[in-house]
Amino acid sequence: MSSAYLQLLDATIAHLETLKGLGVGWVPVRRDTLLSIASPSLTPLSSVARRDIAKTVSPAFQNSQSPSIPSENLASASPQSSVVPPAVRSEAAMSRWSKAVAVVPSTSSSFQTSLVAAPLPSPLPPEARAAAMAELRSQIFACSRCSHLAASRQSVVFGVGDIHAKILFVGEAPGVEEDLCGEPFAGPAGELLTKILTAMGLGRESVFITNLLKCRPDTPGDSAGNRKPKPDEVSTCLPWLERQIDLVQPRVVVALGASAVEGLLGKGTAGISQLRGSWQNYRGLPLMPTYHPAYLLRNLALSEKRKVWEDMLQVMERAGYPVSTKQRGFFLTKD
């Protein structure tokens, strides 16, 4: 019980309780950190997770009675020494962990799922789902957690489509066009996504389309630019996406591009070119990673289109849509 790990646990609890006392309702925590701490008996804390926890806890050291933990025990411990000590597997220690995690979302129920990587809740009946989605929409529209993005945005880009869809597509973040019109995938990449859907025999209205971030990543001094979301923006916004997925409960999630894959599955997953085409598990739902349509606009090779198409054939089958012989043959030859 006197290990650095337990000291860290105490410091985390103390810090979170201090924050809670100050009225803080939530703190961003990376999914992989949560997964690491959720099953400490099996999972060594990843270096990212250790760094993340250290970052969360460190302010507490300056202002509270929390025990001070030598930084080498946090960020630079060897992989061997980062394995959670067996003592932590005790019931008492686990309940202290739950307490630490439970403190975080207790004043904001809509953020619970991101903190415990919970399995999906039971699906809501249609009317309740529509009401919950409308409520979620108004919460997201009012969100200003990333104050810099709230200040620069023209629109909050919630998502479009059928809230009862069998397939839910997740992209990276709104770009300039999406920010202007408030719809995801409204620019050139969106046109290509629409064409892919048409080839699948579907329309934008029959699937649900959204992004990891609901606001356009700002590019100060370059109003027409786009940039990748930063990790803290992703962890701040992710709970909104998780809630959308909780409500839609699609049969299949499609993660478009590396950012979406990493946001949903956590860092430490393989790269998109390795992962695409192979089913992943997202909180019990089948998740298909595939290339982002913007990649297909940059790389015009037929072989790349075919790869995405093969992923979509798998998605159609898994979602229960029929696949014709003609569809199976798309993008095999140039004509």
212 and 259 Cβ atoms separated by less than 8 Å: yes
Which region, judged by CB under 6 A, interacts with ligand URA, from 72-80, 142-150, 171-179, 300-308? 171-179
Distance set, CA 102 to CA 6, 87, 263, 316 (Å): 17, 21, 22, 38
Least distance (Å) between residue 174 CB and ligand URA: 5
Least distance (Å) between residue 90 CB and ligand URA: 44
Minimum CB distance to ligand URA smaller for 19 or for 189: 189
Least distance (Å) between residue 188 CB and ligand URA: 9
Q: Out of 56, 82, 113, 211, name the contact with ligand URA by CB under 6 A.
A: 211
Minimum CB distance to ligand URA smaller for 178 or for 233: 178
Least distance (Å) between residue 101 CB and ligand URA: 30
Residue nearest to ligand URA (CB): 171
Minimum CB distance to ligand URA smaller for 112 or for 211: 211
Minimum CB distance to ligand URA smaller for 82 or for 290: 290
Can you give the three-state secondary structure of the chain, one letter per residue?
A: CCCHHHHHHHHHHHHHHHHHHCCCCCCCCCHHHHHHHHCCCCCCCCHHHHHHHHHHHHHHHHHCCCCCCCHHHCCCCCCCCCCCCHHHHCHHHHHHHHHHHHHCCCCCHHHHHHHHCCCCCCCCCHHHHHHHHHHHHHHHHCCCCCHHHHHHCCCCCCCEECCCCCEEEEECCCCHHHHHHCCCCCCHHHHHHHHHHHHCCCCHHHCEEEECCCCCCCCCCCCCCCCCCCHHHHHHHHHHHHHHHHHHCCCEEEEECHHHHHHHHCCCCCCHHHHCCCCEEECCEEEEEECCHHHHHHCCCHHHHHHHHHHHHHHHHHHCCCCCHHHHCCCCCCC
Minimum CB distance to ligand URA smaller for 50 or for 153: 153
Site for ligand URA in 172-191 (CB under 6 A): 172-175, 178, 184-185, 187, 189-190
Asked if 40 touches ligand URA (CB under 6 A), the answer is no
Site for ligand URA in 284-303 (CB under 6 A): none
User: Amino acid identity, residue 216?
Assistant: R
Asked if 28 touches ligand URA (CB under 6 A), the answer is no
Asked if 217 touches ligand URA (CB under 6 A), the answer is no
Minimum CB distance to ligand URA smaller for 182 or for 277: 182
Least distance (Å) between residue 252 CB and ligand URA: 18
Asked if 239 touches ligand URA (CB under 6 A), the answer is no
Residues paired with 210 in a beta bridge: 170
Least distance (Å) between residue 313 CB and ligand URA: 22
Distance set, CA 104 to CA 14, 272, 303 (Å): 12, 32, 46
Which region, judged by CB under 6 A, interacts with ligand URA, from 42-50, 68-76, 121-129, 169-177? 169-177
Asked if 105 touches ligand URA (CB under 6 A), the answer is no
Minimum CB distance to ligand URA smaller for 19 or for 157: 157
Least distance (Å) between residue 159 CB and ligand URA: 9
Q: Compute how many residues bind ligand URA; rule: CB under 6 A.
A: 12
Task: Report how far residue 178's alpha carbon sits from residue 251's, in angstroms, rounded to the nearest whole number.
Answer: 26
Minimum CB distance to ligand URA smaller for 162 or for 172: 172
Q: Under the rule (CB under 6 A), what is the footprint of ligand URA?
A: 171-175, 178, 184-185, 187, 189-190, 211
